[in-house]
Chain A
Amino acid sequence: MKNRNLKFIFLILSFFSCQKFNSSFVTAKSGTNDPTPNGPVGVGTVYFSANDSGVYKMFKLEGGVITEALILPEDTSLNSITYFNGFYYLGLSGHGNSRDGELYKIENDALVQVFEISSSGSSNPKYLTVHNGEIFFSANDGTGGRELWKMNATEQVSLVSDIEPGSMGSFPQSLTSFSGKLYFSATTLNQGNELRVYNDGNLSIVSNAVSGGRDSFPSFLHKHEGELYFSSIKSTSRSPTAEIGSLTTLEGFFNKVSSSGSTSEVASASIDIKFPVSLGGVIYTSCSVNRDNTELCKLNSQGNFESLGDINPEGGAGQANASKPSHLTVFNGKIYFSAYRDSDGVELWEYSPSSGIKQVKDIYPGVMSSHPSSFWVFENKLYFSANDGSNGHELWSVNASGVASLEKDLFVGSGSSYPEFPFSFYSN
């Protein structure tokens, strides 16, 4: 491990128009180090990555103007980005034989490698999360597997803990700073995949008491009214038979951690509980109630999940016919999400408590799908990626009036720019 501190690639290009890009976003809010994913609309800068005709670049959007900032190293793409101490820090993913999937920062519109964690390949830093004046992330140094790392204010990078000793790694995920502690999921061979907490240099396991066993696979950590909610699956073992072995059953669970650190189960559903968001003091998710199709749900005042409607009634029963809402994102008093219907494919939908569920736009007309994803709120718009069938996966937006339109066809023609998620699957 060594600090290369090389200046990398730094094309500062001028204005950019009619070029294709692949977008991922981060917002810098004035006076804070917290670039909250899908946070409140504010003034600032949004950085995104883009595949411009085979070359990944970083662009920025300020005041409605898109400029190209720099080119990423060959065969890398953006994993994660966060704002810290006045700079944007990036975790890049290296592909093929690339050794450049490492930790970087943007300084004067140049890309500077902060640290080379893996001397033999790419460490692929992910889930960059600001917590108590440091950035925490997962990375693979090539010998110890994917583990929890951190970078302090002076850019000293170090391994937090070799949680799973040996080469396998503990796969830290869903890093979330809450109540002065860092919560995340991680795996050990002895304890399985469970929720863990880092507090003042100490690491401990959180959720075995909730899961009742190993491998609860905590995910979708979501802060709501002073508590931290997360999804899990619950493994319930019963007595083994002499011949068959142990038996396990599973169901989806929603749990919470209080500010004091105590943990409790909140509600259950028959399949995984995904993409939680808060609107008007209520938590909404994608979930399946009593094994009905997976639809948009809310956690009602009785503490039970309640389906808000069948978006694909013509599909009939069975999970293959479920609308499977994904990427729930709050914007302008509504929840926007992608969902499937037989007549339209996977398209953009919205929900508000007053007007219920309705489709925003059949972006790819007919039964084909536009697959809206990578939602991001910035400057009074909801940005997202979608494919209208003519322009490929491009940057779309919903304006304050709720109208969806193609923001820019930056890769002119049918090619796709593949907008991606900047933080993690679980945050968007």
Chain B
Amino acid sequence: MTSCFVSSSRIYQKEAKRDFYLVIDKEVYQKYNEEFSGRIELEVDSDSLVISKVSPDEMGHFSHFVHERFNRCGSHSGFFSLEEAITELESVENVDQVQSLLIETDIDQPVLVEAATDLINLGRIQKTIEELSSFYTRYSRSNTGVDSSEWILREWRNITKSRADAEVSFFHHSWSQPSVYAKIKGVSDDIIVIGGHLDSKNYNSSTTGLAPGADDDASGIAVITEVIRVLVDSNYVPDNTLVFVGYSAEEDGLLGSKDFVKYTFNTNVNILGVLQIDMALHNKENDQIYIMQDFSNPGQNTFVANLINTYTGTTANTDFDCGYGCSDHAAWNHPSLGYLGTMPFEAEPNFGAPNPKYQSLIHTTQDVLGDLNNSLTRAVDFAKLGAAFMIEVDQ
């Protein structure tokens, strides 16, 4: 889960530094301007968002401010041109564009779903989280981040090696760490997507430093890995094409998913559903799974809530917003269809509360598997949800 959409990794260069345009919450802009008057400029003022021009030298300061004060990021996204930022702002504010993709989808495949979910193995999920969180960092511009992508690639290839209908590949970006995707091809080219982010980041040392990222988001990749495994092991043959993605650079502002989504939109395939698994481990109070209602698809959100209630050991809560585009589901913003994704979350996202129920130690050295409030059974719930989502949408 990203706390800051502002990418400090993109803004610095030795010469000819350019300003950066941020689409940010008006509240964040106002607060920052109160405390650091005149350090960022207002370019466009809208209802709840503004576009602010920020110098490269100011970006790190601003990112840190938002992380520290809001325990999240008030910036929706960052762009190199004002034109791009205006396009994004209009898209975000035009909520009327959002259409329901999946409201007609029934939940009627318990036999197929349970054939897969019965194979879910808690120990394997644990091992995947251990492997991923053992890297010094999975930061998108680090060489250990590249190694972690390679580890995922090899693991997914090994899981699918017996399937002639499967392919696993890197998806390269401008920065070092590639995303990884897997496909299990169906008769139809229409796609169903489940994704998480494979990068991690330590915000306490700005952009580098030890970042185990066990919950954020080794847990999501572990869940997706297990979903692939149980679909393969249950010999599930899809009608549509199932796509599994480990996005790079989510922590830098959804950069990896933006690349992947841009590429996917360009191929003109029909997108039947998009699920994001980001933080699927912490469960301090035996909480429900919360579905973020903003930057997501309302019809699909309802459908996913029903899946949670039907197939997992818990229930869904649909009363919460993330408050910003807090993970890669927000990148799936189609120019005509609007938001396509759904983002279930491990616990109540009471951001900034004195007693947070979710893992509030993300982006620190303490986001480790051994955290006492982590629960692998929560990850199992998400794996059940992931498998059920792929099968029920497919059918």
**Interface positions of A (Cβ within 8 A of B):** 22, 51, 53-56, 75, 77, 93, 95-96, 145, 168-169, 171, 173-174, 185, 187, 189, 192-193, 214-215, 217-219, 233, 235-236, 241, 243-251, 268-272, 274, 288, 290-291, 293-294, 317-322, 324, 326, 338, 340, 342, 345-346, 367-369, 371, 373, 387, 392-393, 411, 413-416, 418, 420, 425-426
- Given A96-B158, A192-B209, A318-B84, residue A244 in contact with residue B61 (CB < 8 A): yes
Q: Check if B172 is an interface residue, CB within 8 A of chain A.
A: yes
Contacts of A288 in B (CB 8 A): 174
Q: Check if B141 is an interface residue, CB within 8 A of chain A.
A: yes
Contacts of A245 in B (CB 8 A): 64, 68, 204
Contacts of A251 in B (CB 8 A): 12-14
CB distance from B34 to the nearest CB of A (A): 13
Closest to A245 in B: B64
Q: Is the CB of A319 within 8 A of B68?
A: no
**Residues 103 to 146 of chain B near chain A (Cβ within 8 Å):** 124, 134-137, 139, 141-144, 146
- How many angstroms from the CA of A373 to the CA of B169 in the assembled complex? 9
Q: Which 3 A-B pairs have the closest CB atoms?
A: A415-B164, A54-B162, A215-B208
Q: Is the CB of A192 within 8 A of B167?
A: no
Contacts of A346 in B (CB 8 A): 172
- Given A318-B80, A319-B259, A418-B157, residue A272 in contact with residue B185 (CB < 8 A): no
A-B contact sample (10 more), CB < 8 A, given A235-B206, A248-B207: A189-B210, A215-B209, A250-B8, A250-B9, A317-B81, A320-B262, A346-B172, A371-B169, A371-B170, A373-B169
- Chain B 209-246 interface 0/1 with A at a Cβ cutoff of 8 Å (1 = within): 11000000000000000000000000000000000000
Stretch at the interface among B263-271, B310-318, B344-352: B263-271
A244, A371, A418, A426: the one contacting B65 at CB < 8 Å is A244
Q: Check if B27 is an interface residue, CB within 8 A of chain A.
A: no
- How many angstroms from the CA of A346 to the CA of B161 in the assembled complex? 23
Q: Is the CB of B10 within 8 A of A319?
A: yes
Q: Check if B56 is an interface residue, CB within 8 A of chain A.
A: yes
Stretch at the interface among B94-102, B147-155, B285-293, B381-389: B147-155
Contacts of A293 in B (CB 8 A): 174
CB distance from A137 to the nearest CB of B (A): 14
Q: Check if B378 is an interface residue, CB within 8 A of chain A.
A: no
Contacts of B137 in A (CB 8 A): 193
- Given A241-B61, A291-B10, A425-B150, residue A272 in contact with residue B172 (CB < 8 A): no
Q: Is the CB of A249 within 8 A of B12?
A: yes
- How many angstroms from the CA of A408 to the CA of B84 in the assembled complex? 45
Q: Check if B255 is an interface residue, CB within 8 A of chain A.
A: yes
- How many angstroms from the CA of A192 to the CA of B204 in the assembled complex? 14
Contacts of B143 in A (CB 8 A): 171, 173-174, 185, 193, 217-219, 426
Contacts of B192 in A (CB 8 A): none
- How many angstroms from the CA of A77 to the CA of B160 in the assembled complex? 13
Q: Check if B168 is an interface residue, CB within 8 A of chain A.
A: yes
Closest to A76 in B: B158
- How many angstroms from the CA of A269 to the CA of B174 in the assembled complex? 11
Contacts of A233 in B (CB 8 A): 9, 141
Contacts of A425 in B (CB 8 A): 146-147, 150
A271, A338, A342, A414: the one contacting B10 at CB < 8 Å is A271
- Given A248-B207, A345-B267, residue A193 in contact with residue B144 (CB < 8 A): yes
Q: Is the CB of B176 within 8 A of A75?
A: no
Q: Is the CB of A235 within 8 A of B84?
A: no
- How many angstroms from the CA of A54 to the CA of B163 in the assembled complex? 7
- How many angstroms from the CA of A171 to the CA of B159 in the assembled complex? 25
Contacts of A338 in B (CB 8 A): 172
Contacts of A77 in B (CB 8 A): 154, 157-158
Closest to A217 in B: B142
Q: Is the CB of A272 within 8 A of B80?
A: no
Q: Is the CB of B164 within 8 A of A290?
A: no
- Given A193-B142, A250-B141, A321-B262, residue A270 in contact with residue B13 (CB < 8 A): yes
Contacts of A243 in B (CB 8 A): 68
Closest to A385 in B: B169
- How many angstroms from the CA of A425 to the CA of B153 in the assembled complex? 12
- Chain B 294-312 interface 0/1 with A at a Cβ cutoff of 8 Å (1 = within): 0000000000000000000
Q: Is the CB of A95 within 8 A of B266?
A: no
Contacts of A171 in B (CB 8 A): 135-136, 143-144, 147
- How many angstroms from the CA of A171 to the CA of B136 in the assembled complex? 8
Contacts of A145 in B (CB 8 A): 134
- How many angstroms from the CA of A187 to the CA of B142 in the assembled complex? 11
Q: Is the CB of B13 within 8 A of A268?
A: yes
**Residues 40 to 92 of chain B near chain A (Cβ within 8 Å):** 56-57, 59-61, 64-65, 68, 79-81, 84
CB distance from A230 to the nearest CB of B (A): 10
Q: Is the CB of B164 within 8 A of A414?
A: yes
Q: Check if B319 is an interface residue, CB within 8 A of chain A.
A: no
Q: Is the CB of A75 within 8 A of B158?
A: yes
B60, B80, B176, B185: the one contacting A317 at CB < 8 Å is B80
- How many angstroms from the CA of A169 to the CA of B266 in the assembled complex? 42
Closest to A145 in B: B134
- How many angstroms from the CA of A168 to the CA of B130 in the assembled complex? 12
B147, B168, B204, B207: the one contacting A173 at CB < 8 Å is B147
CB distance from A262 to the nearest CB of B (A): 21
Contacts of A324 in B (CB 8 A): 172-174
A95, A235, A368: the one contacting B158 at CB < 8 Å is A95
- How many angstroms from the CA of A236 to the CA of B13 in the assembled complex? 11
- How many angstroms from the CA of A276 to the CA of B279 in the assembled complex? 36
Contacts of B172 in A (CB 8 A): 324, 326, 338, 346
CB distance from B74 to the nearest CB of A (A): 15
Q: Is the CB of A418 within 8 A of B208?
A: no
- How many angstroms from the CA of A425 to the CA of B162 in the assembled complex? 25
CB distance from A222 to the nearest CB of B (A): 14
Q: Check if B258 is an interface residue, CB within 8 A of chain A.
A: yes
Contacts of B268 in A (CB 8 A): 367
Q: Is the CB of B263 within 8 A of A340?
A: yes
Q: Is the CB of A235 within 8 A of B207?
A: yes
Q: Is the CB of B9 within 8 A of A95?
A: no
- Given A168-B134, A392-B167, residue A246 in contact with residue B206 (CB < 8 A): yes
CB distance from B56 to the nearest CB of A (A): 7
CB distance from A358 to the nearest CB of B (A): 20
CB distance from A345 to the nearest CB of B (A): 7
Q: Check if B31 is an interface residue, CB within 8 A of chain A.
A: no
- How many angstroms from the CA of A250 to the CA of B16 in the assembled complex? 15
Closest to B159 in A: A95
Q: Is the CB of A187 within 8 A of B144?
A: yes
- How many angstroms from the CA of A271 to the CA of B10 in the assembled complex? 6
28 cross-chain CB contacts under 8 A: A55-B161, A95-B159, A145-B134, A168-B134, A169-B134, A173-B143, A192-B209, A193-B137, A215-B209, A218-B143, A233-B9, A235-B206, A245-B68, A249-B8, A249-B57, A250-B12, A250-B141, A271-B174, A272-B176, A290-B13, A290-B16, A317-B81, A318-B79, A345-B267, A392-B167, A413-B164, A416-B167, A426-B143
